[in-house]
Amino acid sequence: MKKKNKKQKSEFDFCKVCNRNHDEGQRHKYFPSHTNSLSKFFSRFQNKLTEVRFFLKNPSFLRLELASRNRLWCVFCDCDIDELGSSFACQNAINHLASGDHLKNLKHFLWKYGGGMDRVDAFRISQADIAKWETKCKSLKSEAAPCGGTSQGLQSGLSNDIHKEPDYENLNNYEKNTLHHLNSNISNVVMPLQQHTNEYQVSRLEHSGVANVGSNMHVITSTLSVDPCDGTSLWNANNLMEAGGNVHSGAPPPWFEETQGDQLNVQLNQVSTLNKSGKLKLNPKRVGAAWAEKRKMEMEMEKRGGIVKSDCDPNWLPNFGRVWQSGSRKESRKEFEFEKQKQTNVHSLSEMPMEIKPYVSKRMRKIRVFKMRIRSELVD
Amino acid sequence: MSYLLTTLTKKKEIDTIIRDTIDKVLVLRFGRAMDALCLQLDDILAKSSRDVSKFADVALVDIDSEDVQVYVKYFDITLIPSTVFFFNAHHMKMDSGTADHTKWVGAFHRKQDFIDVVEVCYLLFLSNPLNWIMPSIQIVDPGSVDIIMVA
């Protein structure tokens, strides 16, 4: 007889879509619960991509203060895409979605979790689209800064988009400017600007010999951006350095003013003290409240003063209402003690030692008594 | 299971535990360690003692020890296991469907039944003022322990 192995248990695998582990193997992606979760999953990511697509069609400059807020988590590649260092809105995201790696991961995801290969185009940006976007960006740049060709190119190369494939156009520019060696350092490292971009400082940095990529960046920007129309790069550096500190230096955030902070601290302290002192506010009217309070005091006295409290009376009995008793509980105690006394009396009586004597008849007893009287008279 | 819970064999020990358990329900089981029904109850008590530890203490009393006979008589313990409830050194009566309201006779079916009883006891004793009639709990069906509170 052929044994049909219906339930082939495969190893446990984690489904990113359903967010749970399962041992259904390849069959899992066909289950209705999974397909439901998958459609929700895709629609969620699509919503996030609508913004990116908008900026793909209408590129616009990205202001630095907004750059830190923009980030996208790519669910197919399991990576975070932030916009630090990008000059256009969603630049890094667009570049990522157009990259080959992303396409590869997307295809793998669709194979693993189902959803149909026709969805590929919905979650990526084709080469044609990105080419169009880039031309639009260039035209925007040229409109904004007519003389900043090389430095802008440099800036895009300086972006900390580690997922971006090397931009060969910009590399060629660097070769021309003999800054190729610096590019290889900069394009792979993300360093926050730490010092003011000042010509005096730059010279100091050079002399200090600190092999800091950040400082190198400053060198480039200061040497290249001599013209006032290249204010963008200078402005970037200066703007960041105005605040006393930043996230990396551990400074408090600007919305958290000093006054507010103090108030909050005070409030927190109050809350913590409340928690410690009033654990449970017991009802003063609870059963045996008076007894409890009294006993607590006694125990505290014993602990503190080391007073050795005399042990309770061996005859102490708790407050107990007996089964067939009516009336107050004191009466039950009295009853019990009365019974106790009775019992002890009975015991004491029964405890008298019984002597065993031989039988003596009445006549013999009389004779004995008579004899004892004569003896006693003779003695007296 | 008596090795998991404190077993009391002297009157002094019982007095101490009654007097020192403050603002917590004290559950005293009177019985023998080797009796079958006592073993059943002890098992449930031991398993749930930790769960109720914040509002109840559980202790076992061995009725075979001589020192304890005073209490055996005082509490009229004739059937074992018998469980007596105390709160702040006051004995608490409970109507469990039998004529004897002073104690709970027998074992519990499930751990949860015991926990329910103790929990209700605690809430009742904590909330009710001290009257000359002690608050009592009426248990309608001891089998399933549906508790109706009667002040």
User: How many domains does chain B divide into?
Assistant: 1
Predicted pLDDT at A353: 66
- Asked which of A6-20, A282-296, B71-85, B137-151 is least confident by mean pLDDT, the reply is B137-151
Q: What is the pLDDT of residue A351?
A: 65
| CATH assignment at residue B107 | 3.40.30.10
Helix (H, G, I), strand (E, B) or coil at A154: helix
Which chain A residues are Cβ-neighbours of B75 within 8 angstroms? Answer: 320
Give me the pLDDT at residue A295, please.
87
SS3 B26: strand
pLDDT band at A6 (very low <50, low <70, confident <90, very high): low
Calpha distance A147→A228 (Å, rounded): 10
Distance of alpha carbon B72 from alpha carbon B81, whole angstroms: 12
Q: What pLDDT is recorded for position B45?
A: 93
CA of residue A277 relative to chain centroid, distance? 27
Each residue's pLDDT tens digit, A189-203: 555 555 555 555 555
What pLDDT was estimated at residue B98? 78
Question: What pLDDT was estimated at residue A228?
Answer: 46
B91, B101, B127: residue with CB nearest A319: B91
- Is B133 part of the contact surface with chain A (CB cutoff 8 Å)? no
φ, ψ of residue B112 in degrees (nearest 5): -65, -30
Residues in chain A whose Cβ is within 8 Å of chain B: 282-283, 285-292, 295-296, 299, 311-312, 314, 316-323, 328-329, 336, 339-340
Interval B72-109: pLDDT, tens: 888 888 998 999 998 888 888 887 777 888 888 888 88
A85 Rama sector, left if φ>0, alpha if ψ -120 to 50, beta otherwise = left
Q: What percent of chain B has pLDDT over 70?
A: 83
The minimum CA-CA distance between B25 and chain A, rounded to whole Å, is 11
Q: Answer whether A323 sits within 8 Å of B20, measured CB to CB.
A: no
Torsion angle (degrees, nearest 10) of CA A188, A192, A194, A200: 50
Q: Give the SS3 label for residue A296.
A: helix
The 10s digit of each residue's pLDDT in A215-256 is 444 444 444 444 444 444 444 444 444 556 777 777 777 776
Partnered with residue B25 across adjacent β-strands are B56, B87
Q: What is the pTM of this model?
A: 0.43
Question: Is the Cβ pair A318, B90 closer than 8 Å?
Answer: yes
Query: pLDDT value at position A164?
Result: 53
pLDDT tens per residue, range A78-109: 888 888 777 888 888 888 888 899 999 999 99
A114: left (phi over 0), alpha (psi -120 to 50) or beta: left
**Is there a contact between B134 and A287 if contact means CB atoms under 8 Å apart?**
yes
Q: Name every residue whose Cβ is closer than 8 Å to that of residue A23 and which is 6 or more positions away in sequence.
A: A9, A10, A11, A12, A13
Residue A188's DSSP bridge partners are none
Query: What value does the mean pLDDT take over residues A17-30?
Result: 88
Contact A312 B15 (CB under 8 A): yes
User: Is residue A205 over pLDDT 60?
Assistant: no
The CA-based angle A218-A174-A82, given to 5 degrees, is 60
Provide the pLDDT for residue A277. 46
pLDDT at A352: 64
Please compute the mean of the pLDDT values over residues B15-25 and round it to a whole number.
89
Q: Kindly report the CA angle at A65 between A60 and A69, in degrees rounded to 5?
A: 85
At B61, the pLDDT band (50, 70, 90 cuts) reads very high
What is chain B's mean pLDDT, rounded?
82
Query: Which amino acid is residue A166, in one-letter code?
Result: P
**A313-to-A149, A189, A334, A337 alpha-carbon distances in Å:** 101, 82, 16, 14
- Rounded distance, CA A34 to CA A13, Å? 14
Which residues on chain A are in Cβ contact (under 8 Å) with B88?
Answer: 286-289, 291-292, 295
pLDDT at A304: 83
pLDDT in tens, A324-376: 777 777 788 888 888 888 888 887 777 666 778 888 899 998 998 999 999 88
For residue B74, how many C-alpha atoms fall within 13 Å in the half-sphere facing its CB? 24
| B134's tokens | 């002690």
At A226 the pLDDT is 43
pLDDT-based confidence at residue A268 (cuts at 50, 70, 90): low
Alpha-carbon distance B91 to A24, whole Å?
A: 59
Whole-number Å distance between alpha carbons of A28 and A22? 8
Does pLDDT of A204 surpass 90?
no
Question: Is the predicted pLDDT of residue B141 greater than 90, yes or no?
Answer: no
Residue pair B16/B70 in contact (Cβ under 8 Å)? The answer is no
Per-residue pLDDT at A312? 60
Give the nearest partner residue to B125 out of A287, A291, A323, using CB atoms.
A287
Q: Tell whether B50 lies on the interface with A, counting CB pairs under 8 A.
A: no
Please give the pLDDT value at position A244. 62
Q: Check: CB of residue B103 under 8 Å from CB of residue B84.
A: yes
Enumerate the residues of chain A whose CB falls inside 8 A of the CB of residue B11.
314
C-beta of residue B85 within 8 angstroms of C-beta of residue B25: yes
B33-53 pLDDT, tens digit each: 888 999 999 999 999 999 999
Q: Which of A283, A311, A322 sits opposite B126 (nearest CB)?
A: A283
Instruction: Tell me the pLDDT band of B30, cut-offs 50, 70 and 90.
Output: very high
Q: Specify the 3-state DSSP secondary structure of A129.
A: helix
Report pLDDT for B26. Answer: 93
Give the residue among A53, A105, A108, A51 at the shortest CA–CA distance from A74: A105
Q: Residue B141 is part of which domain span?
A: 2-150
Residue B12 near chain A (CB below 8 Å):
yes
Tokens of A139: 């035209």
| Cβ neighbours of residue B45 closer than 8 Å, sequence gap 6 or more | B1, B5, B27, B29, B58, B60, B114
Q: Can you give the pLDDT at residue B29? A: 94
Residue A60 reports pLDDT greater than 70: yes
Contacts of A331 in chain B (CB under 8 A): none
